[in-house]
Structure 1
Amino acid sequence: MKIENVLLLGEGEPVDITVAEGVVTALEPSSGSDHPLIALPGLVDLHTHLREPGREDAETVRTGSMAAARGGYTCVHAMANTDPVADTAGVVEQVWRLGREAGYCDVQPVGAVTVDLAGEQLAELGAMADSAARVRVFSDDGKCVSDAVLMRRALEYVKAFDGVIAQHAQEPRLTEGAQMNEGALSGELGLTGWPAVAEEAIIARDVLLAEHVGSRLHVCHLSTRGSVEIVRWAKERGINVTAEVTPHHLLLTDELVRSYDPIFKVNPPLRTGDDVAAVREGLADGTIDIVATDHAPHPMEDKECEWDAAAFGMLGLETALSVVQQTMVDTGLLTWAQVADRMSAKPAEIGRVAEHGRPIAVGEPANIVLYDPTATRVVNAADTASLSRNNPYAGLKLPGRVVATYLRGKKTND
């Protein structure tokens, strides 16, 4: 197979990529001309909710991985808040096998930190790490590991197999009944505020715990200026911490909540324009390591209701690259090579998925996404591989289009 007339990482002269048996076998100057596509390494998402087992009305491993392939992803990490919770070797192996059977992208399960996400007892971390799924990322995402002693034990435990704890930073006592970002707008709208300090206090505590025990910490869906500053301080201190930001926190602000449309209800909440500017700066300077979608599908009845009753979360897999283009590339904050770093190489490194995040080079796996940055589209919520329709970008005009995704040389986004 030959992929013709592409720009590697959007730079240099056009090349043709030859692929055989799932591996790149040649890179040669292209004779093509007009408008070459950009070739990036297949994207890796460290934070995806696939809902199966238990909530197949919202998403399945098959439909979620189809959506991932349409968004340019060749590997996603499936979060543990399923039913039953992915807190045993048996459940993570089930999710892993479902991903292999579907074949659209590699599905790497994330194991729960605590039994049933209850925050009381450590889950079977070692058994999940030793399972066929080889789990290396553990998270109670959707809930915070708020007990400091339990968090310390988890950080200590995963050191034995080079694991990482991915923390959902939310102090529960400070967010009881919270519905949106705390500020003047929450008071104006009469919605219970979600203070930035509820996120920042947990991050501050956990980077110090990670330093104390010498372990790896990953901060999920960072959303405030203060959080960026804490992570920047921790990295300057030499603490082994990484952090992610979602596409929606790069683009959307809490002003959208004025509509009372539950499509914009998300955890952590949409923040202020100042916070958006700060997370963009943090992603640009490397304080924030990666973009992760936090793709969170919900059935229609969980979103098409009044704000207070609605579920938190929004879709993200099929639009992530376009949002990053609009917020980071078109603004001059990132190059396409840096996008590949933040959306492929670094998430693969954090998640320890060695076959992914590799450069497009001879001898490397042919995990490749072809992207047209000159295209534009108006997002249609119904035009998705996901079972759900809770897309916050519906009706928006976004740049760019994924033309093709290849997983080990096989096209997966048809």
Structure 2
Amino acid sequence: MQPTPKIACIIVAAGRGSRMSTQDDSSPKQYRDLVGKSVLQRTLEAILASPQISQVLPIIHAEDGEAYNCAVRTVTDSRLSAPISGGATRQASVACGLKALESDAPDFVLIHDAARPFLSQAVIEGTITALQEGAQAALPAVQVCDTLKRADANQQVLETVDRSQLWAAQTPQGFPYRLIWEAHQAAREQSLDSFTDDTALIEWQGKSVRLTAGDPQNIKLTTLNDMKNAQDQIAMKQLAELGDIRVGTGYDVHAFEEGDAVILGGISIAHTHKLKGHSDADVGLHALTDAIFGALADGDIGSHFPPSDMKWKGAASDQFLKYAVERVHKRGGMIAHLDLTVICESPKIGPHREEMRKQIAEICDLPVGRVAVKATTSEKLGFTGRNEGIAAQGCATIRLPFEN
């Protein structure tokens, strides 16, 4: 039985990404946010998801240490090595990485662009398989499907280019470690530094490059439009994965008692009375909490925070709502929308509506645009009409993954 090959992966992350720079943001693209994670973190997670990879070595710009640490702070895989500084060109940066691996040389090395976060396991496996079968270089690629035109400097078409043998190169490109390291050293000795990818060095040496199956999704983020498309792609994927859409409702009532303010929707409102209850009696947050529990089919506020438990005596109700939101997150879900209706004659809710929306949004870590607060009276009818207390109705829309 042959020993398992040692496979390292170099992540080329030393570029400046100038084509994505704007007046407001000139930061390198690999450190930009891509739906809650940096581009680099998503790329590293894709590589580290492969159990065949034994070491991942990032190559970064000498000035990017702090940005790198911030971008990957939640990546804890022990296979991720400390980054090293790259060179003036991509070719020089890769050479720095190959030299750093020399003392404990792997059998194979993959070289991947940091700005390709949509790397699939199938592409990684295809590259590695080609190397294990004896390829001198493995290049994931997709066949060019669009008609290609050659044009002059004035954008006048000169000819149609035959695309039948054209392929668009991707990464990770794979090599036997010694072969690619020797190719880089030979290029340096001849002062050749204009190779745009690593398989070009293998071609230059007259050796063969095997094409493997690439993936149209494995794009390199280069322009602002690429970044927008990537954000849309991830957002749509997340929504598709959270296809179990549920709606829950909640209702709560609290009577008035002597006091000088009510706690409602997470804020204090000056009033002639306060609300009576075991906790702070925030009828609005209680209704929303029960609405979330209802959408989860997870009991009610009384089952999670029983009034018989003195632990909750006078407790702030925001912790109840935060707990309900956490229950959604633990199920892998998200809050899509919260809607609160307050029913009372007084105090007047209108002047406080926006503050309540902002407070509820902060408690639930939501954009304020996903929180609605409305108010109505009961036209002098019933206990609310007699100004004996306040009622509230809550509605919560949540999204969960489909359960097996």
The verdict on a shared fold, with TM-score over 0.5 as the criterion, is no
Q: Higher relative contact order at CA 8 Å, sep ≥6: structure 1 or structure 2?
A: 1
Taking structure 2 as the reference length, the TM-score comes to 0.24
Taking structure 1 as the reference length, the TM-score comes to 0.24
Structure number with bigger Rg: 2
